[in-house]
Structure 1
Amino acid sequence: MSDIYILSIETATPLCSVSLAKNGVTLHEIVGEEANMHASSLTLFIESLLQETSLTMNDLSAVAVSKGPGSYTGLRIGVSAAKGLCYALDIPMIANNTLDAMYRGFMAGSPQVSDKTLLLPMIDARRQEVYTQVLTGEGQIIESTKALIVDAGIFDSYLADGHHLIFFGSGADKFDEQFKENASIQVALGFDAKASFQDALAYEKFQAGDFEDVAYFEPYYLKDFMVTAPKKSPLL
C-alpha cells in the first residue's frame, strides 16, 4: 500500500495552523504566531508546508479539517479551503470534532491521570461560556459536545464523587483565577488547538473510509451565528 499523506487544517480557534502527516505521523506543522490570521495566512501556510516537506498538492491523499465547534468565521474559512482543495484534487475530505482532536493532543503529552480524572477541552465562547465535553482518561465521553456557562458550582456533582478535573484549551485559561483555590480542579494554561492533533485521527478515518460529502458539508457551529448592531455613539 502506498503512503497516505493527509493535510490537516485547524481554524476553529484564534490560532491558525496546518500540518502534514504521513500514515498518521506528523511530518511538519505551521502555527500562526498571531491571533485571527486565518483569512490572510491559511493559503500561505499550506504552500509553505508543502515546500518544507518537498511534496506537492498531487501527493495529498485527503484533506482533514477541524469542523468545530469554534469560531464561526474561522470555521467557514477552514472548511471553505478544505472543500476547494478536495474539489480541485478530487480527493476525500475528513472532518474532525475540534474537541476530540484537542483531547488527543493533550493526552499525547502523557499527563498523569487516574481513573477518577475527567478531562474537559474548552474553546472560548466569550464571557463565562465555553464549548466543551467531558471525557475520561481512556477517552470515554461522559458528556458530549455542548455550550456551557461555567459558574462556581457547575461541577459540584463531579467533585462530590471524588473526581479530579483538568481544563485545557482556549476557553480554559480564563477560569484559572476562579478555581485556583480548588485542589480538585486544574487549569492547564496556554494549551490551544493545533492541526497536528488531528493527524492520527484523520488517518484512522481515512482507513475506515469515513469521508464527508464535500458538496453538502457544513461546519459544526453548535450555536447560530449572532449578528449584533453596533452601539450608537452618544455624540450622534
Structure 2
Amino acid sequence: MAKRIIVDIFIPCFVDQLFPETGMNMVKVLEKIGCEVNYNPNQTCCGQPAFNAGFFDEAREVAIKFLDDFSNETSHYIVAPSASCVGMVRNAYQDIFVKSSNLVKYRTMQKKVYELTEFLTDVMGVTNIEGAALQGRYTYHDSCSALRECGIKAGPRALLDNVQGLELVEMEDNETCCGFGGTFAVKFEAISTAMAEQKVDNALATGADYIISTDSSCLMHLQAYINKQKKPIKTMHIADVLASGW
C-alpha cells in the first residue's frame, strides 16, 4: 500500500482575510494529487510583519506559536501558498531561535516547510495538474521571496506549461521587485508605486492577459495599481490557475 502523504496547510494572514479562495484552491490541488490535507484552526501568523518592522520580541512570540502549532506531527509536510511566509520560516526563524531551547525543535520543522509549487514539483514530482485549463497568454512574476529566499524559478513555469490553453510570454525584468515589500509600500509610497508601474508596463508590453505568481502580496499590490490605472491585464495566484478548468 502506498504511503499516505499528509500535509498540514498554513494559510497566511492576507490569504485568510483577502483571498480565501486561493487557500481553498490550494487544498483542491493537493487533494487532487492524493494528499491528505489537515488544517489547524489555531494557526495565526508567521510573524513576518513584526519581524520586518523591527519588533523582534513580538515576532519571537508569534514564531514560538507557529512552532507549537506545526510541530505535533514530525511526519507531516507543511505547505503554504506563499513563498514570502515560507521564506520567513525557513530563514528568519534561524535568527529568532539561534540561542533558544527551541532550536532543535525548529530544525526538525524547518525541513518540512514548502511553498506550494515547490512541494508539487520537488516533493511530489508533479508538473501536470490533470484538467487544469485557462485560455490566454500570461507573463510570470518571480517574487523576491520565491526567487531569492526559496530558490523557486523553474517549478512554477513547469506547472503552468501544462495548463491547457495558457501561453507564456516572459516580460522584461521579470526578476525585479514589484514594489510591495510589506510596510515598504506604506513608508515609501511613491517608490513603491513607481515600481508597480514599471512591472505592469513590462507585463503589458508582452500582450499578456495575466500576471501570475506564487505570492498574493505581490499580486495584491499590482492589482491595486492595475485597477486604479484601469490597465487591461489581470493578476492570478498560481493556485487559482492550477485549480481552474476542473
TM range (shorter): 0.3 to 0.5
Q: TM-score, normalised by structure 2?
A: 0.34
| TM-score under structure 1 length normalisation | 0.35
Question: Which is strand-richer, 1 or 2?
Answer: 1
